[in-house]
Amino acid sequence: MGDDADPAMEAVDALRAANIAVAPVGEELERWQIGDLVFSDANVWRLAASRGLVEVDP
């Protein structure tokens, strides 16, 4: 991930690449709907990381 990359968008892209439907909630792109749940940017990142879909810095 580059210095300018948005970690939340990287996580959203990774989840979508894994065929997980992710939709923005509102216009600010700070909340994401996955199924019946709404996640913050940080929680979307954690979800993608827990599934090994994004690289986690040691």
Q: Using one digit for the tens of pLDDT, what is the confidence trace for 4-54?
A: 679 999 999 999 999 999 999 998 889 999 999 999 999 999 999 999 999
In a domain, 13, yes or no: no
Residue 28 has what pLDDT?
86
In a domain, 12, yes or no: no
In a domain, 25, yes or no: no
In a domain, 4, yes or no: no
Residue 58 has what pLDDT?
74
| Higher local confidence (pLDDT), 1 or 36 | 36
Residue 4 has what pLDDT?
67
In a domain, 44, yes or no: yes
| Higher local confidence (pLDDT), 58 or 32 | 32
Amino acid at 57: D
Q: What is the DSSP string of 1-58?
A: --TT--HHHHHHHHHHHTT---EE-SSSS-EEEETTEEEEHHHHHHHHHHTT-SPPP-
How many domains would you assign to the chain?
A: 1
Task: Provide the whole-model pTM.
Answer: 0.86
Q: Which domain holds residue 38?
A: 31-57
Closest CA to 34 of 56, 50, 5, 55: 50
Q: Do residues 7 and 14 lie in contact, with contact meaning Cβ atoms separated by under 8 Å?
A: no
